[in-house]
Amino acid sequence: MAKTIGVVLSERVIAGLVIDNTIDGDLCTFPPNADDESALIELHTDGLVKVICEQVICARRDQHDISAIGVALPGIVRNGVVEDSPNLPQLKGARIAELVTAELRREGLDAPVNIVNDADGMAAGLAATHGKLDSMIRVFTLGVGIGFGRYPFAQGVWEGGHTCVTLDDKETYCGCGGRGHIEGIMGHRAMRLRFLDMEPEEVFAAARQRPAGPETDRCMKFVHLWHKALAAGIANSIHMSGAGKFYLTGFNARFLEISVLKEYLHQMIKMSPLQAYTVEIIEDSSRTRVLGAAVTAEQSIAYARKKAILASAQ
């Protein structure tokens, strides 16, 4: 039985033991209080590494034959290095795979560590959960920022949340500082910056008020822009990589009106070979994300072994 550990680093650090593509037991979490949203932001890189490793050791329990450890975190992640991470800026440039590996060895756990973007981890977790490990799926996570994940893993940056969906010079609310990004419209942080006098929940509630007034009109206009931005992000992905399955998740998926989204997609995608796409709203689950991080790590190790065998045979 393959035994791996998956770790997710977003607003919290969550880890779990995965045995044969199934989470075994309870998850380990830091901080334990879900309302403590600033705990990770306040930690420096070494502090984050220590917290990650503490949760790995917690999830390991009494298992001694761990084959791999997968860590999913936000940002551009390549070859074990966080090249950029607007949501956790202290990680920029961190050789996180090396740091976690070294800290775990000091704790007596010596296993390969694989680092992946958190949205890609979510996509892998959904593929494993829905029995689609042999299919391509894509997922948009609607949260503080906008994550875009793809399974199976492919070389590239894949920062789909920073896709440019407008040419409006005033659209500068994205956390990375870029102009016209989907995250600058749909991200929770961006919405709070745009509506300094209202919370996102209030904006979407106001858009449904009748009779309509100036405030309702302002909110309705934004709600349609919000749906158009997501439709544009999905349409751009379809026009680049083809049709297929899209999952929509994250705590702000609650704002989605799927009929409105599909109407905008219908307006944007006209070539018949590209119209065989489906979109589905799905619950954002920590267990799915942890599973995805572990599955990706297991597949990465298997690929590395296969590559080594082929190289030795030449």
- pLDDT, tens digit only, all 314 positions of the chain: 689 999 999 888 999 999 988 899 999 999 877 666 667 878 899 999 999 999 999 999 888 889 999 999 988 888 899 998 877 888 999 999 999 999 999 999 999 999 999 889 999 999 988 888 888 899 999 998 999 999 987 777 778 899 999 999 999 999 889 999 999 999 999 999 999 999 999 999 999 887 777 889 999 999 999 999 999 999 999 999 999 999 999 999 999 999 999 999 999 999 999 999 999 999 988 899 999 999 999 888 877 777 778 777 77
- Judge contact between 306 and 272, C-beta under 8 A: no
Per-residue b/e over 25-35, b at no fewer than 16 CB within 10 Å? eebbbbeeeee
Range 215-222, long-range pairs (CB < 8 A, 24+ positions): 222/194, 222/195
Which sequence spans correspond to the domains of the chain? Answer: 3-116, 123-281
Which of 151, 65, 146 lies closest to 110 in space, CA to CA? 65
pLDDT digits over 194-241, tens only?
Answer: 999 999 999 999 998 877 778 899 999 999 999 999 999 999 999 999
Which of 111, 106, 29, 117 lies closest to 71 in space, CA to CA? 117
Fold of 123-281: Nucleotidyltransferase; domain 5 (3.30.420)
Which of 189, 179, 181 lies closest to 143 in space, CA to CA? 189
Please determine whether the domains at 3-116 and 123-281 fall in the same fold group of CATH: yes
Q: How far apart are CA 290 and CA 5, in angstroms?
A: 8
The CATH number of the structural domain formed by 3-116 is: 3.30.420.40
Per-residue b/e over 301-310, b at no fewer than 16 CB within 10 Å? beeeeeeeee
